[in-house]
């Protein structure tokens, strides 16, 4: 009988991580899209590192940082009874960090392509910076925002190395679909591996197709 728990756990992880990244990533992308400074360049490079670093490297340092035997991990356990290593919360933290550039980069690029006069006109009409961001700028980059959200969600579905390092392979708790595939192949259970692989492929393919269709439809309905 097929175990569906890795699929549901993967979807849960993707929903939670993407939601957190929407809340955190949008203001960060807006801040980075404005005037450049050396500090912003360094910070943006740091945010981009998950794109170029091997996932196991990031996962290893997260494992060290949040180990309950030392440092920050020990402090969190003692003061908040929070253990991030080998827990779902740890998977969420790792996924948020690893998928951060997939949310920030498209939104930042889209904001930079908007004419500066758009924000200036909003400020002239008495709108605050917060109102301008949410009511003027974001509606004008909704296609890029949707793309960033869907790509972040899809990327989280397929995470392997970083979640394996910090979450391990605990059934029902940290064994997501990508880890279940690896585990099934190791056990020569190709039927289960094929099932999990097809499910991930189907979810990701449908999400990407939906984005393409939406962007094509939106471009046809643009004025002019």
Number of folded domains in the chain? 1
Has residue 186 been placed in a domain? yes
| CATH label of the domain that carries residue 29 | 1.10.3720.10
* Structural domain containing residue 68: 5-219
- For residue 187, the tally of other CB atoms under 10 A from its CB is 10
- Give the mean pLDDT of 113-127: 88
Q: Each residue of 141-183: pLDDT tens digit? A: 988 899 899 989 998 998 898 999 999 899 989 999 999 999 9
What's this model's pTM, rounded to 2 decimal places?
0.89
Please check whether residue 224 lies inside any domain of the structure: no
Q: What is the mean pLDDT of the chain?
A: 89
Write down the pLDDT at residue 224: 44
Q: What is the pLDDT of residues 2-40, one digit of tens each?
A: 789 999 999 999 999 999 999 999 999 999 988 778 888
In a domain, 116, yes or no: yes
Check residue 220 and give its pLDDT: 61
Q: Is residue 135 part of a domain?
A: yes
């Amino acid at each position: 009988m097929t175990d569906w728990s890795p699929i549901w756990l993967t979807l849960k992880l993707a929903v939670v991580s993407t939601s957190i990244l929407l809340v955190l990533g949008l203001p960060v992308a807006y801040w980075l899209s404005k005037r450049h400074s050396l500090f912003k360049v360094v910070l943006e490079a740091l945010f981009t590192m998950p794109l170029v670093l091997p996932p196991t490297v990031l996962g290893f340092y997260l494992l060290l940082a949040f180990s309950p035997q030392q440092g920050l991990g020990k402090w969190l356990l003692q003061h908040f009874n929070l253990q991030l290593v080998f827990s779902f919360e740890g998977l969420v933290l790792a996924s948020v960090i690893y998928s951060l550039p997939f949310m920030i980069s498209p939104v930042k690029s889209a904001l930079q392509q908007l004419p500066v006069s758009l924000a200036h006109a909003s400020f002239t009409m008495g709108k605050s910076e917060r109102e301008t961001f949410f009511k003027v700028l974001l509606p004008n980059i909704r296609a890029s925002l949707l793309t960033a959200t869907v790509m972040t969600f899809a990327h989280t579905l397929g995470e392997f190395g970083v979640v394996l390092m910090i979450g391990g392979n605990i059934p029902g708790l940290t064994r997501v679909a990508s880890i279940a595939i690896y585990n099934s192949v190791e056990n020569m259970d190709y039927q289960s591996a094929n099932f999990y692989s097809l499910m991930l492929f189907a979810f990701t393919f449908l999400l990407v197709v939906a984005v393409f269709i939406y962007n094509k439809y939106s471009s046809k309905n643009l004025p002019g």
